[in-house]
């Protein structure tokens, strides 16, 4: 039976154990590997026109998105723990949200200016 991972506390307990067991540096390297695999899966998905193969490729793409999301959650957990003495969780969350908003604003501006038109 699969564990219910919908609760953040359950995931954070796992992340704490992973970081303790694997170390921060190894988890950062793992993030790079997962990002690389997502790039590969994206390129493959973009190139496949065969319907049967495309479904399998899309499934792999979803797996890689999931892996990257999990690694990003781990990194965010590590940042919360590592930098807790200098930044509060709310400060980290606010910084991430501000950066996300700025990036989305830039994307909207580029879209509206026609810069992203094909």
Distance CA 18, CA 15 (A): 5
Q: What DSSP string describes 62-96?
A: HHHHHHHHHHHHHHHHHHHHHTTTTS-HHHHHHHH
Angle between helices 51-82 and 24-47 in degrees, nearest 10: 160
Return the closest-CA partner of residue 64 out of 90, 47, 43, 94.
43
**pLDDT tens for each residue of 40-60:** 999 988 886 666 677 888 899
pLDDT at 81: 67
Query: What pLDDT score was predicted for residue 45?
Result: 87
Cα–Cα dist 84/78, whole Å: 10
Model pLDDT, residue 1: 65
How many angstroms separate the CA atoms of 92 and 82, rounded?
11
Note the pTM of the prediction, 2 decimals: 0.72
Residues of the chain with pLDDT under 50: none
Mean per-residue pLDDT over the chain, rounded: 84
Angle (CA) 45 47 50, round 5°? 85
């Amino acid at each position: 039976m699969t564990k219910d991972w919908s609760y953040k506390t359950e995931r954070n307990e796992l992340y704490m154990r992973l970081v303790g067991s694997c170390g921060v540096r190894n988890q950062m390297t793992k993030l790079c590997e997962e990002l690389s695999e997502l790039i590969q899966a994206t390129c493959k998905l973009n190139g496949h026109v065969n319907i049967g193969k495309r479904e399998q490729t899309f499934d792999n793409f979803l797996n890689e998105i999931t892996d990257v999301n999990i690694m990003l959650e781990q990194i965010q957990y590590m940042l919360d723990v590592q930098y807790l003495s200098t930044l509060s969780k709310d400060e980290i969350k606010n910084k991430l949200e501000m950066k996300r908003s700025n990036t989305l604003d830039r994307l909207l501006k580029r879209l509206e200016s026609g810069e992203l038109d094909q």
